[in-house]
Amino acid sequence: MKNNTCPDRLAIIRNKLTQALAPTFLEVIDEGDQHIGHGKEGAGHFALRLSSPLFQNKPLLECHRLVYAALGNTMGTEIHALRIEIITP
C-alpha cells in the first residue's frame, strides 16, 4: 500500500516534541497504511513512543497533555489520529 506521509510531517512532529519535551527516547511511527480509506487515505495517523524527564512523577494524563501541548496546532492539521505510549523509567 502507498504510504502518504510527507517526510516533512514526521520532521515537524519530531522537532516539536524534541524542542518542548527534550525526550530521552522518541519514536514516531507512521500508521497511515493501517488506515487506508479513513482520514484522506490514512494520512495523519501516527503512534508515538517517548520518554522525557518532564514526565517524571506525573500521572499519565498529565504526560499526554504535555505531548498535545507540544504538538499544538499540528493536531487536527498534520495529525488526524495519535496513539501515545509514554515510557517511564
Give the pLDDT of residue 7. 62
Average pLDDT over residues 9-15: 93
CATH of region 7-86: 3.30.300.90
Q: What is the DSSP letter of 38?
A: S
Cβ neighbours, 10 Å, residue 72:
11
Q: Check pLDDT > 70 for residue 3.
A: no
Nearest to 47, CA basis, from 72, 70, 81: 81
Model confidence band, residue 2 (pLDDT cutoffs 50, 70, 90): very low
pLDDT digits (tens, 9 = 90+) for 58-75: 999 999 999 999 999 998
Alpha helices in the chain (DSSP H): 7-21, 60-71
Task: Show me where the domains of the chain are located.
Answer: 7-86
For the cut 90, the answer to whether the pLDDT of residue 40 exceeds it is no
* Mean of pLDDT values over 41-59: 87
